[in-house]
Structure 1
């Protein structure tokens, strides 16, 4: 499939440059075919997202529709776990794309298309558990735990969530207080504590959960694969939390009182939980950044389209210099953010996960933080230009009104903005010092 041509009329800022006929070094024919397949499928599935958000729930069939089309798999971080997927009988994705051909830009396209409605709730309702809860399982769990659960998770037969955050420990992961103690018989971990703001936690059957198996600080943390559904009413209680935006994402409060978890459900090694969590955060933050950038695009493009036809003071709003200035300022931020994301995806594709986690952890944190700031500017610009229509939950401005309410849903989860900006710089300085020390050591060995 050939890319769009420059002669195709497109609302300014409504699509990434590669879909507006502009040349790009990143995308090939496979990417354009994948983008077309994603858009056709996702647009059909998400046709009624605004009404879903209003009601607070998505159709019960939505998750299974994605599962049947193997469209849960692209929600996994790049690179895909090829071996485990094939063992589960999954060899290709929508449109015949072979899983071994799936690269960083196929993942980018999927994330971008999933948020094309401008609403984060419906996509989050089906992909958050896949994106965040499953990777630690196939990366660190024992072969027996993987064989027992991964096939069902990949095929959408089992639902999951990531349970890290607590009422008093959000970005401060090292101070998690949920405790997991070994039973006297040694066959179980007895888990007691609370988890809060857990996306998909309302309906998830299992949780990848951060628990304290040792002393204070990061060295005492571990990850457990905790059965939720089978423990409900047996020490586990959960209730729904309604947040500013993304009401369909199934955010929950989990209260655990001496919940029994088989010791075989330990993910990896005791005391290594902090490392596993931080490695998992890189993909989570990048995923959020991709979606937030597309949401910003939806808001800004909606504003451009509106001011081109809306007349005030005897002429279209687009002829007002102050309006063009607002749009230009946001456009600069938006396209710079998108170019940064493309750059990081390219670097991940070349470096691979291990080197990518090491070299790009700080950058990824900053990319995610900046995505929230860009979204905030674009959403506020759109609402201001829509005027009174941007304040209403129905009619012409309902999408931008909803997007503005979702801004904080981007800026807080996955690490609060200020924390991530600080983390990004600290990581870059750490890399610099480490490489400087290595270089000095090499020089010293030659003396």
Structure 2
């Protein structure tokens, strides 16, 4: 039965207003409550202030690490074996790591984004969420043993380092090189990486490098030491939004990295990068959808109380029309996200990478489009307050500035939309080809 407690329209996903949903089991509902309590206590209250100061204090990361709330950002299912090795068997006392599925992941990402901002949560989780999976999926047992214990426990930090000044969404054309020394024991890494989230705080990077010739086939991935390491220079970049997430420019000058830090095998880097993008893009979509919800709910609450021309703004048809259009986009997007995540829980990882890879790019792109609409509507309805960096419209103004940070990173919007359709067409052609009768066969 729907809850009798009233909620501001669009402020919560339907399942949290008491409406029925086929996706959530008792374990998910317990997890949502525990997540909300923990994040409200340790992040939500100070998020806007920390984002204004452009840095989330180190103790917040440590608090999340000690509670096991870093590993919740990893792709589900979680690495149960390794988590058991380091003593993490459950999170917040309500969910075992062995039962954690992608619906739990979705709830976690949604709750982390209730700040309305991508920076505070991103400062804590982006590195482990996207930097650890290549090691987990493709690293040798010895590579995993060297790095995973400290990373999973939050004793060390990592980032994902793909993008370069001249190669963003065009991953196949990155130019950072990793050349073997004459004795074959080390790589010398040279180049630059740009817009690397969490880089400034990271001890390591899962880094895309060129070990071979031009194009995708020449790419590999290495675990490259960063903070305080010889030949590495890092500086923070001033960006328009997500300012507390530690966006970093990295210069690499003859950085000596042992060949044992190679992730997987040489020449397979493009495959590793592209499959890793699926988790990144989906979690971006989940968080951005909640950001859109925060903005639109704030605007709805505002127009219920703000008066102009002798009546509340919500009594103006044009105001209701704006909210209705944005709300329809928002709830459609959330329904797609829920459906998508449910499919992730039912498909084997290899199948999901193929069948949902293109759609992941599209759901990520659509999340930016929806966020843009909801944030813009919120700013317009707040009027001058929504254009002011303080006061009651401060959060809405900040969210609106963060819109490009969703539409560009993780694969820019136009590239993602094109990639999605190309992947769907590719899958169709492969399946069609498989149904064709072999040449010369007489079989019907």
TM (norm. structure 2) is 0.98
Classify the secondary structure of the residue corresponding to 1:224: strand
Q: Gaps spanning 5+ residues in structure 2: where?
A: none
Note the C-alpha offset of 1:230: 4.2
Contact 1:310/1:317, CA 8 A, preserved across alignment: yes
Alignment partners' CA distance in 1, 2:57 and 2:152: 20
Alignment partners' CA distance in 1, 2:132 and 2:407: 23
Distance 1:25 1:135, change over 3 A: same
**Corresponding residue number in structure 2 for 1:96:** 94
Note the C-alpha offset of 1:30: 1.0
Alignment partners' CA distance in 1, 2:56 and 2:87: 28
Q: 2:3 aligns with which of 1, 6, 10?
A: 6
Note the C-alpha offset of 1:204: 0.3
Note the C-alpha offset of 1:59: 1.1
Matched, 1:385 2:384: no
Q: 1:164 aligns with which of 151, 162, 165?
A: 162
Alignment partners' CA distance in 2, 1:139 and 1:84: 12
Contact 1:79/1:353, CA 8 A, preserved across alignment: no
Q: Which moves more between the two structures, 75-84 or 423-432?
A: 75-84
**Corresponding residue number in structure 1 for 2:148:** 150
1:52-201 to 2 correspondences below 5 Å: 52-201=50-199
Deviant stretches of 4+, over 6 Å = none
Note the C-alpha offset of 1:352: 2.4
Note the C-alpha offset of 1:95: 2.7
**Corresponding residue number in structure 2 for 1:302:** 298
1:363-402 to 2 correspondences below 5 Å: 363-402=359-398
Alignment partners' CA distance in 2, 1:345 and 1:118: 21
Q: 1:37 aligns with which of 31, 34, 37?
A: 34
Alignment partners' CA distance in 2, 1:13 and 1:230: 46
Residues 183-211 of structure 1, C-alpha deviation per residue, up to 9 Å, x if partnerless? 01111000000000000011100000000
Classify the secondary structure of the residue corresponding to 1:260: strand
Alignment partners' CA distance in 2, 1:8 and 1:442: 63
Q: Gaps spanning 5+ residues in structure 1: where?
A: none
Aligned residues: 442
1:317-336 to 2 correspondences below 5 Å: 317-336=313-332
Contact 1:88/1:150, CA 8 A, preserved across alignment: no
Distance 1:81 1:317, change over 3 A: same
Classify the secondary structure of the residue corresponding to 1:61: helix
Q: 2:14 aligns with which of 17, 42, 65?
A: 17
Contact 2:232/2:255, CA 8 A, preserved across alignment: yes
Q: Which moves more between the two structures, 311-320 or 78-87?
A: 78-87
Residues 30-89 of structure 1, C-alpha deviation per residue, up to 9 Å, x if partnerless? 111100000000011111111111111111101110000000011001221122222222
Distance 1:429 1:315, change over 3 A: same
Note the C-alpha offset of 1:442: 6.8
Classify the secondary structure of the residue corresponding to 2:192: strand
Contact 1:79/1:352, CA 8 A, preserved across alignment: no
Alignment partners' CA distance in 1, 2:80 and 2:65: 17
